[in-house]
Amino acid sequence: MSPDSSISNNTWHRLVTTEAGDPLLQLTGSFTLVSFSRSLPAITKQLAELAGQPGLHWDLTTLYQLDYAGAAVLWRAWGRQRPVHLLLRPEQERMFRRLEKSAPLPQKPGRIWFLPISLLGEQFLRLLDHLAGMIALAGQVVLDGLYLLGHPHRIPFREISASLYRTGAQALGITAVVGFLIGIVLSYLTSEQLHLFGADIYIVNILGMSVIRELGPMLAAILVAGRSGSAMTAQLGVMRVTEELDALTVMGIPHSMRLVLPKIIGLGIALPLIVLWTSAVALLGGLVAAELQIGLSIHYALTVLPDTVPIANLWLGLGKGMVCGMTIALIACHFGLRIKPNTESLGAGTTSSVVTSITAVILIDAIFAVAFSHIGIRVVG
Amino acid sequence: MTNTEPVIEIAGLDTRFGSHVIHENINLTIYKGEILALVGGSGSGKTTLLRQMLGLTRPARGSVRVLGAERYDGSHEQQRKLRIRSGVLFQQGALFSALTVFDNVALPLREMRTLCEETIRELVMLKLGMVGVEPQHARKMPAELSGGMIKRVALARALAQDPELLFLDEPTAGLDPALSEAFVDLIRSLREELALTVIMVTHDLDTLVALADRVAVLADRHIVALGPIPEIIICDHPFIQAFFGGVRGQNALRALQRS
């Protein structure tokens, strides 16, 4: 666009007098979207003032360029009707005829006064709906599992192993890093305190108990929920958007058997293994830190570990891992299958999936803590 | 052709994806006011060439000038103005699924930050009316629309900023015959009304015959023929013979002779 055609504040109109003595406003330059700059509010104001003058003649034939944006600005300045005296070129005439015919935007449906109540009710119903959906999906997967027990040649081994690799093997790095660091932090904090009381060797009890029973499983489950849960939801969601899910259905391949079941079994196997790995690395981190901090020998710590931490704690941790893994996969698949074919639903679905599965993981941990409170804890004395 | 003022000039353009050569030394000039159709077999790089004109894919070599400015070497401000002056209708519509029909068309106008909301409302309803979308559909989400309606709304969005250049990627793909005919008529009337230059990629022979002033045939990494359809069909390149020589091609050409 050449610089002389853009609108500056004064050059866009010329006020002259016609032969008959009437005031005539000639618009000049370009009235186009590209030529409008931030000076548009000023022009709009001036136009509105000019439009208020009775008997003013408007001449648009002197314009170099007019587009619909320019026409709409004029149209609004005139109060959505033509001024009495208006000169137009034929193509401008056509533009204003279009503006005259254009329909107004329909009103938004009105808001209802009990909106907060109905929103709350909707939320509650949605929660129930999700719960029912998840139970139905879990039931379907159990039925599929029973069917596969009778038809072992149809078990989707390839998908299960792919799921194991993606959710298990590929998660080893991140869980190790986080586990190791948490172990160090825990060890640094407690070893100082224990040292005060001369109870240095109890660091093994504290580290072993907390890491193997609680921290290892929880860390692993929360990391996996964020990492693999979101991936599963997004994968199923995109398959919905691209109609791949429908393609599977028409081929007679049920989603639950080919997509959901392998993920649940895969994560059910992978997460206990990751729990074991995370606990081991966290314990190592803690013991290394203890050695550096208070000079506790790692060899000694490993020797007393089996006596201080009953083996039941390890089984509890692994059991938690398995239950959490299957729950995470179930939740992720449930939200994935519910995604509607649009981008916003994909984002919202993935978010809800991760939030729900992390909440579920902590809920499961609490249930385990209450249910198994008498197992694996040795009361001294 | 109504004008000899060049709108798009492509010179010495090469495209490579890895070691795979798609285009080799493409030269093409598109003039103001014409409808140019790009045709070619699947994988001949029609859509890639379109994307290069849009500034989405940078060619390996060669220059693309749009409306007198370099597409890939201009200033940021110049690029922005270029984008405002061209509208694109994507093959699947590419409507923003999170926004209503109204907001989809309003988005490019709001993004300019110059027009006030009332003017935008006026313009959006005007553009929707222009492409034949009833006002009651304005509040709907794209997921609630049929295929033909999506194309219309996408066209309204492409026209929102009053572009001089309109790019159409398979404008009638996925529409039934009656709808594609209506869509072709719509594009033809809009082109006259808005003085558009139209560049389209199409496979559809009827659309091609009904709309195109000139056709550029892409095959074997080159433009093998360029000109009005009667000049194209006498070319004896195997792709052109197969494209126009089949039953469908002959039917479409008969329609051209009749008109």
Do residue A86 and residue A221 come from a single domain?
A: no
**Domain range enclosing A205:** 126-371
> Which pLDDT value is given to residue A354?
96
Whether residue A5 is predicted with pLDDT greater than 50 in this model: the reply is no
| A277 lies in the same domain as A324 | yes
**pLDDT over threshold 60, residue A105:** yes
Contact A234, A304 (CB under 8 A): no
* A165 shares its domain with A73: no
pLDDT over 90 (residue A171): yes
- For chains A and B, CB pairs below 8 A equal 86
pLDDT tens, residue by residue, A305-334 = 988 889 999 999 999 999 999 999 999 999
**A294 within a domain of the structure (yes/no):** yes
Reading across the β-sheet that carries A23-27, which strands appear in turn?
A: A13-17, A23-27, A57-59, A85-87
CA A228, CA A163: separation in Å to the nearest integer? 10
| A341 and A244 both lie in a single domain | yes
Distance CA B18, CA B143 (A): 37
CB B29 within 8 A of CB B61: no
What average pLDDT is seen over chain A?
87
A261 plus A327 within the same structural domain: yes
Kindly tell me if the per-residue pLDDT of B257 is higher than 90: no
Give yes or no: residues A88 and A184 share one domain.
no
Chain A interface includes B127 (CB < 8 A): yes
pLDDT-derived band at B170, boundaries 50, 70, 90: confident
Q: What average pLDDT does this structure show over A67-74? A: 83
Report, as an integer, the average pLDDT of A348-358.
94
Q: How far apart are the first and last CA of chain B?
A: 18
The average pLDDT across A204-217 equals 92
Q: In this structure, what CATH number is given to the domain that contains residue A72?
A: 3.30.750
Q: Which residue of A has its CA nearest to B112?
A: A33
pLDDT beyond 90 at B116: no
Count up the domains in chain A and report the number: 2
Domain regions of chain B by residue span: 97-162
Rg (CA), chain A: 35
Do residues A87 and A58 lie in contact, with contact meaning Cβ atoms separated by under 8 Å? yes
Task: Give yes or no for A359 touching B (CB within 8 A).
Answer: no
Same domain, A224 and A166: yes
- A92: closest chain B residue by CA: B193
Most trustworthy range by pLDDT among A34-48, A86-100, A196-210: A196-210
A107: in domain: no
**Residue A112 within a domain:** no
Torsion (CA) B193, B198, B201, B202 in degrees, nearest 10: 30
Count each helix (H run) and each strand (E run) in chain B, helices first: 10, 10
Residues of A in contact with B130 (CB under 8 A): 98
The span from the first CA to the last CA of chain A, in angstroms, equals: 90
Q: What angle do CA B139, B143, B145 make, to 5 degrees?
A: 70
Q: Do A338 and A233 belong to one domain?
A: yes
Same domain, A85 and A147: no
The reply to whether B179 touches chain A by the CB within 8 Å rule is no
A contact residues 50-69, partner B, Cβ 8 Å cutoff: 67-69
Domain boundary (A67, A101, A135) is at A101
Give the closest-approach CA distance of B251 to chain A in angstroms.
35
To test the contact with chain A by mutation, choose from B80, B126, B128, B166 the residue with the greatest count of A C-beta atoms within 10 A, namely B126
Among A281, A287, A318, A317, which Cα is nearest to A302's?
Answer: A287
A163 and A31 in a single domain? The answer is no
To the nearest whole Å, the CA of B126 is away from the closest chain A CA by 5
**Residue A146, in any domain of the structure:** yes
- Last residue of one domain, picked from the residues A58, A84, A101: A101
Q: Which of A26-40, A213-227, B93-107 has the lowest mean pLDDT?
A: A26-40
More confident residue, B208 or A39: B208
- Phi, psi (deg, nearest 5) at residue A350: -65, -40
pLDDT for B127-168, tens place per residue?
A: 888 888 888 888 888 888 888 888 889 988 988 888 888 898
Cα-Cα-Cα-Cα dihedral sign, residues A66, A67, A70, A72: positive
Under the banding of pLDDT at 50, 70 and 90, the label for residue A216 is very high
Of residues B25 and A124, more confidence is placed in A124
Q: What are the φ/ψ torsions at residue B14 (nearest 5 degrees)?
A: -120, 145
- Are A169 and A57 within one domain? no
Place of tokens 């010495």: B12
Chain CA centroid to CA B93, Å:
12
Confidence of residue A379 (pLDDT cuts 50, 70, 90): low
For B135, the closest of A33, A73, A106 (CB atoms) is A106
On whether both A185 and A279 belong to a single domain, the answer is: yes
- Among the three residues A84, A101, A118, which one is the final residue of a domain in this structure? A101
Q: Is A138's pLDDT higher than 90?
A: yes
Query: Parallel, antiparallel, or unpaired: how do β-strands B35-40 and A57-59 relate?
Result: unpaired
Beta bridge partners of B223: B218
**Average pLDDT of the residues in A24-38:** 77
